[in-house]
Amino acid sequence: MKNTHPSATSLPRAPREGADSRTRTYLITMGIRVLCFALMVLVTPYGWWTWVFGAGAIFLPYIAVVFANVASDVSDATIESPERALTAGPVADDVGDASPAEPAEAPRIIRVEESREDRDA
């Protein structure tokens, strides 16, 4: 029977952690927008950079919302069994040792499974 439960190493980021990252990105982008608006008003004499600051003040809210709504972890999570790492043979302690390694006994694997016991008290 194939194990369909994900392991702890293959789980995606926590939703709260992703929300914090998106909120931080949104606030940084909106801070740049406020800076663009202030520079558009305060920098004199007015010139071509005034238009650049104005475009930033107008279009950065849209960009901030798009970046905030994009999840950062879009990769497909695959389930990796930690038991695969245990099937490797023993590693020689000394690199210069030419004698073959003695076969070791198979690693002991402990599996813990939870079951619900229905007890009528």
102-116 pLDDT per residue, tens: 566 777 888 888 877
Return the pLDDT at 55. Answer: 93
- The answer to whether 34 touches 48, Cβ cutoff 8 Å, is no
Q: What is the pTM of this model?
A: 0.49
Q: Which two tokens stand for residue 62?
A: 């849209």
Return the pLDDT at 105. Answer: 74
110 CA to centre of own chain: 29
Contacts of 87 (CB under 8 A, 6+ apart): 107
21-70 pLDDT per residue, tens: 889 999 999 999 999 999 998 988 888 989 999 999 999 999 988 888 88
Return the pLDDT at 108. Answer: 80
